[in-house]
A and B are shown apart, each in its own frame.
Chain A
Amino acid sequence: MAQQPLPTSAQPTDIYGGDEVSALVLDPGYCNTRAGFAGEDVPKSILPSFYGHVTSDPPRDLFGDECIIPRSDFEVRNYMNKDSVVEDWDVAAKMWEFMLVKRLQPERQTPPSKNKLNDDVKEQDGEGDVAMEEVETMEKALEEFPLLMTEAPWNSPKAREKAIELSMESWGTPAFWLSRTPVLSSFAAGKATALVIDVGGANTSVTAIHDGMVLKRSIQRSPAGGLWLSSQIRNMWETSEPKVDLVPTFMVENKSPVDALAPAQARLREFPYKIHDSFRAFEEERLLTEFKESVVEVWRGPGRYGAAGNEEYIKSQPGRVFEMPDGYNQMWREQRFKVAEGMWDENAGYPVPESERLTKAQTIPELIRSALNAIDVDLRGNLLANVVVTGSTSLINGFNDRLNNELTAMYPGLKIKIHAAGLSSERRFGAWIGGSILASLGTFHQMWISKKEYEENGVGIVEKRCK
């Protein structure tokens, strides 16, 4: 082998220079959890944060979309709560390990010293320590991979400590870092200072970032996200005339085309067991997502949807047809704007139970206003010139135009520039991509919490360092 020999698996673990780092990035959210290698442009492994739980004996958890199919004794649960904070740490650990280890790492087998690759290099390794080594590799699945995790800006100190503990103790990561999602989203947009509007699944948040730091007082959030929009759509279907039945795709065996507004003619599937409500709800959400993708639109302006004449104008415009999985189909005109209007105008939209109602302060324009009011006046101009829009619910047609109109109306005279990634994936995985960028920078190793620091200081270090 005349070619220059490369270091074998025994790479020095203490020196990571520049892009030698092979860090992992983990971005848990309410709807999806994303994991992948730093430096790549999309996460390799994207799983719903919902997981299957088999209730029959022995109870077990199943992860991944392919497992979430109709089964007996089967529930769908989520390890995150609607604040996008981890709720069930036991499952979180399992789920993350499934993604980071099972999906991204090769099958654990014979340790490197035995896999023949190194036979000629260091044959002197005794046979004695093999067993021990195996135990060790089992325990420390991520020994070679620094880990960057994301968190919601309002994550609790307890949860943060738990995260570093899990990473260091269970997986043996050599280094760890915790970063807030808006900071990463602004990195993904190539900005260190930005006003980040993240319209996600369970939450919408507005956060001001200055020089890569979260301005804590600016953090605003409300439930005006994808789930809220889903409840609006459900309500719209419920009150629509005729009432639209929400039959999720998995229920339909086959369907025949029917006329618009005519009752569906579909053969439904029969299951010899009871389908749990949680499973059905999960499947309904898929359908609602499809409806959001292809029908729902944000009224772009001028003015609000409720302004005089707007509704009449829309009614005169062609609508969009949506076909339900059971074949029922209908044209949606003004309704498809009305469902999304509640995010902007607390008085618009469809009536919902009082508990789900958005207050004026929870609408997107008000969130922005309060965020900006909470920070130094001098910063506002700069922030408004760097508005970063991210989150998959922001992909709804017309969202950016409306946002632009609202901001212009609220802050006349200030320069407003909205940055929203054109690729859907960049919008959906904004925080992950930012993490991928951050963790592949040469400077990442100056910033992370190394194993040594963790061992010296304990879990409390995360609160001190990851500000």
Chain B
Amino acid sequence: MASGGKWREEQVLVICPGSRTTMAQLGCGELSPPHHRIPTRMFRDEEDSNLWRPYYTYKRVTTIDGVENEEWVEDVDEDKGAVWPIEGGRIVQMDAFLAFLDHVHGLLTTTYHNTPIMLMASPQWTRPDCETIARYIFEKTKTPALCLIHSGIATQYGLKWPNMTVVDIGYEKVDVTAIHDGRVINHMDLGRPQPGRHISGGEVFTQKLQQLLTDKNFSHDMAEQLKKSGICEVLPYAPSQKNLVVLPVDTPDAARSAAAPSKAGGEPGAADSTTADGPAADVPRIEEPSRTDDVVMEDNEGTDTNIDDDGVLDVATIVTSGQTKEFLAKKEKEKEKGRPGRKPKADKEAEAAAAARPVRQPNSKKMRNTFSYEEIIMEEVSKAVPVSVVELEPTAMQGVESSSAAEGVPAVAAPDVAADAKPPAPEAAAPATGTDNEPVIKSEVKSEETNVNGDGNDATLATIPDSKPAEAINGSNGNDTTKADDATAADSNEPPELRPRKIRREIEVGLERFLFADRDEIDRIVTTIYRTIQGVEDMYMRPACWDNLVFVGNGSRLRGLKDNILQTLHARHIISPSTATMFTSELPSNVATPAGTGAQTPVGSFAGAPHQLSTSSVNPLLQAATTASTFGVPVPGRDSNSIQVASGSTPAVGSEAAGPASGHHFHSQTPTSIKTIALPTYLSEWSKNGFEEAMFLGAQVASRIAFCLHSNMDAQAIEAQKSMSLSRVDYNEHGPKGIRTHSMLS
């Protein structure tokens, strides 16, 4: 017990609670996306209000052989009467939250004594909150060690850049955390519960959407599904437009195209040469971002593209770095290479476009578009399933659900796969390129025909549990206009009364699907990002924060949102190089110390705290990537950093030369550039899942470091590791307040 790091990777319980959904998993060995997504809710026990139940429970009276039996039934999907212990990141019901932790623990593991816990904490958690949690965990369970990790830091561990600004867009809150050298240096949030709460985040958009569509009787759930569908998007920021957005205009052409897709949809022939925008308009387009040139998105492949996009500033750094010639040569080559490579495709596209113009229009150009809404209704069927057994994907309710499907019955996942594979070109290709940002809507099957096909296919795949119900559904599909979902195929065949069925219907939506992108909300987020970074006290840290933005949180999955925020930041806040300095030799104040272009000037001496530790036993791939990325980081502040410390702490007499010599401190105006970070590419599962949940990845990485590193550590590293988590020994010594010093909360 004396030292930490005596656990195996598969023993660690990782829990990342959110206001709506909690991600959890036992084991941190695979660095996989979370195995479990559990709604963060508890229900008061009806009989003893001090007790909490994990599921909605109701009494049901059944009559068997004339005898009335009362029984308690748990409905795992029901939300009625739920208490959500976290609101806007803040714990509002501690006892419910603790009961919830217990529930999650019980769900994933049966033993306590050898299961250290990694628990992610929102920045809104207060110190007493953390202490209460620590006390509960150590006094009520036999957990050997607990590590609380700040969600921003967790994200950083997941993405492995020493300096970052993490913008976490959640359900009803937005957190902006500036991190420099692994330390939280500033934080601001929106949507904190307080008198007169003004929520922020994904829910704002859903509400706005619902509000716009009240005439059409949209329910909250419909709005939520519409938001997650591919047709809902935040259009790019258009600086010169009146409403800052270019909306599609109503032309006859557009009208035709809007009508077209449902017809054209199922025909594989028409489909195959199209881009993702094609027939199944719901499939999100892949290369959506960076429509304006100055925004560098993470999907630009490498530094070269960045240089290209950044224009003047980086030219300056290239010149100063003395690599001009090579650079130009490289560029030239690229151009030559790029042209023939790209042109044929463009031509083909143009041809294809000419062939089927109405179909080809991207979502953003269409006046109207359709999405298919899925709802679960309870239907009386002679042969139905007891509610408690239904492991139906609760997709509709709790966010993105791709991998949790896999966790259940294998057959549940199968339909997706089947449908993906079935209609040949476009849809199968789309997910492969990482489109399933919105897994919920992937694999829409459009025409009746294909649908039957798909279902048939399922049925064969789904035979593992039971094939009969699946066939039954197929049968009913024929005369029903709505289409039963494939997932029901997985149901077992026990025989009570009510049976949930997934109904899918097509709903057409007009411009509301763009108008919901509330400028006020986006402006709030933009302002918060700006203020957070500009509010960092030490100026030299700001450029690094501006150059390493990352958007996480499932609220940021909304199509186009990140881009729009970035575009707004660019259009509003960027400081351009001034012509005033044209004839002076000195760099203008608003140009940072020439930053190395990265690749050529390795910053070998990097020693950020987290990485120091991580170098020994983490997956070699990961490690390689980490070190590589470290070399790549342009850290303009770094030089001034050391000087700052040196000259700052002891302003000795005459230390600063007479005269207005600058350069001792970093006093430049920021931001001169705004970039998002490059996301890791070595974790394919995460690339597929999307890094919106990077904090979970980071929590796993941190778990390994805190709990599973054994060898090759010097005294300092052991000490550092010890302070990462609170072990039972430490707890016994310090009590709950030990969590103040033994955690990763700042």
Tell me the A residues contacting B by CB distance below 8 Å. 1, 3-6, 22, 37, 44, 60, 62-67, 69, 98, 102-107, 109-110, 114-117, 119, 249-250, 252-255, 257, 259-261, 267, 290, 293-295, 297, 299-302, 313-314, 317-318, 320-323, 325, 327, 329-331, 337, 397-398, 400-401, 404, 408, 416, 418, 420-425, 428
Closest Cβ neighbor of A60 among chain B residues = B196
Q: Which residue of A104, A260, A314 is within 8 Å of B578 (Cβ)?
A: A260
Ordered by A's residue number, 15 sampled pairs between the chains whose C-beta atoms are within 8 Å are A3-B732, A66-B192, A66-B528, A106-B129, A107-B94, A114-B95, A115-B94, A250-B527, A294-B590, A295-B589, A321-B578, A416-B653, A422-B645, A423-B537, A425-B537
CA A19 to CA B198, docked complex, whole Å = 38
Given contacts A69-B524, A293-B667, A401-B656, contact A323 B575 (CB under 8 A): yes
What's the least CB distance linking B352 to chain A, in Å? 36
A323→B94 contact, CB < 8 A: no
Q: Which residue of B193, B530, B578 is within 8 Å of A329 (Cβ)?
A: B578
Name the B residues within 8 Å of A325 (CB-CB).
573
B580→A255 contact, CB < 8 A: no
Is B195 at the interface (CB under 8 A from chain A)?
yes
B571→A255 contact, CB < 8 A: yes
Name the B residues within 8 Å of A400 (CB-CB).
651
Contact mask B123-165 → A, CB, 8 Å, 1/0? 0001111001001101110100000000000000000000000
B575→A6 contact, CB < 8 A: no
B658→A3 contact, CB < 8 A: no
A330→B580 contact, CB < 8 A: yes
Closest Cβ neighbor of A5 among chain B residues = B139
Residue tally, chain B, CB below 8 Å to A: 82
Name the A residues within 8 Å of B648 (CB-CB).
421-423
Q: Which residue of A60, A103, A313, A398 is within 8 Å of B656 (Cβ)?
A: A398
A105→B126 contact, CB < 8 A: yes
B732→A4 contact, CB < 8 A: yes
A98→B194 contact, CB < 8 A: yes
What's the least CB distance linking B702 to chain A, in Å? 22
A318→B537 contact, CB < 8 A: no
| Known A6-B139, A69-B527; 4 more pairs at CB < 8 Å | A107-B94, A254-B239, A318-B586, A331-B580
Which residue of A104, A255, A321, A401 has the most chain B CB atoms within 10 A of its CB atom? A321
Closest Cβ neighbor of B193 among chain A residues = A107
What's the least CB distance linking A427 to chain B, in Å? 9
What's the least CB distance linking B307 to chain A, in Å? 19
Closest Cβ neighbor of A259 among chain B residues = B579
Given contacts A253-B244, A401-B651, A421-B649, contact A117 B136 (CB under 8 A): yes
Is B10 at the interface (CB under 8 A from chain A)?
no
Name the B residues within 8 Å of A117 (CB-CB).
132, 135-136, 139-140
Q: Which residue of B50, B138, B579 is within 8 Å of A3 (Cβ)?
A: B138
B660→A106 contact, CB < 8 A: no
Name the A residues within 8 Å of B537 (CB-CB).
423-425, 428
What's the least CB distance linking B549 to chain A, in Å? 18
A422→B94 contact, CB < 8 A: no
What's the least CB distance linking A290 to chain B, in Å? 7
Is B394 at the interface (CB under 8 A from chain A)?
no
B572→A294 contact, CB < 8 A: no
Name the A residues within 8 Å of B675 (CB-CB).
none
Contact mask B191-205 → A, CB, 8 Å, 1/0? 011111010000000
Interface 9-residue window, one of B85-93, B411-419, B449-457, B626-634: B85-93
CA A4 to CA B668, docked complex, whole Å = 55
Is B605 at the interface (CB under 8 A from chain A)?
no
Which residue of A5, A255, A420 has the most chain B CB atoms within 10 A of its CB atom? A255
Is B588 at the interface (CB under 8 A from chain A)?
yes
Q: Which residue of A5, A252, A337 is within 8 Å of B660 (Cβ)?
A: A337
A321→B194 contact, CB < 8 A: no
B139→A267 contact, CB < 8 A: no
Closest Cβ neighbor of B195 among chain A residues = A60
Name the B residues within 8 Å of A408 (CB-CB).
653
What's the least CB distance linking A351 to chain B, in Å? 23
Which residue of A254, A259, A408, A421 has the most chain B CB atoms within 10 A of its CB atom? A254
Name the B residues within 8 Å of A253 (CB-CB).
239, 244, 571-572
B127→A313 contact, CB < 8 A: no
Name the B residues within 8 Å of A114 (CB-CB).
50, 95
Q: Which residue of B188, B590, B655 is within 8 Å of A66 (Cβ)?
A: B188
Contact mask B415-455 → A, CB, 8 Å, 1/0? 00000000000000000000000000000000000000000
CA A26 to CA B617, docked complex, whole Å = 44
Name the A residues within 8 Å of B99 (CB-CB).
116
A320→B589 contact, CB < 8 A: yes
What's the least CB distance linking A77 to chain B, in Å? 16
CA A250 to CA B526, docked complex, whole Å = 11
Name the A residues within 8 Å of B658 (CB-CB).
300-302
CA A318 to CA B583, docked complex, whole Å = 10
A6→B50 contact, CB < 8 A: no
CA A416 to CA B651, docked complex, whole Å = 12
Q: Which residue of B539, B588, B732 is within 8 Å of A321 (Cβ)?
A: B588
Is B644 at the interface (CB under 8 A from chain A)?
yes
Name the A residues within 8 Å of B132 (CB-CB).
106, 117
What's the least CB distance linking A276 to chain B, in Å? 18
Which residue of B578, B660, B731 has the most chain A CB atoms within 10 A of its CB atom? B660
Q: Which of B192-233 contact A (CB under 8 A)?
A: 192-196, 198
CA A295 to CA B239, docked complex, whole Å = 29
Closest Cβ neighbor of B99 among chain A residues = A116
Which residue of B189, B568, B579 has the most chain A CB atoms within 10 A of its CB atom? B579
Name the B residues within 8 Å of A115 (CB-CB).
94-95
Q: Which residue of B92, B127, B572, B588 is within 8 Å of A320 (Cβ)?
A: B588
Q: Which residue of A22, A66, A105, A397 is within 8 Å of B667 (Cβ)?
A: A397
What's the least CB distance linking B731 to chain A, in Å? 8
B667→A294 contact, CB < 8 A: yes
Given contacts A317-B660, A322-B669, contact A261 B580 (CB under 8 A): yes
Is B585 at the interface (CB under 8 A from chain A)?
yes
CA A44 to CA B126, docked complex, whole Å = 9
Q: Which residue of A44, A66, A105 is within 8 Å of B190 (Cβ)?
A: A66
Is B665 at the interface (CB under 8 A from chain A)?
yes
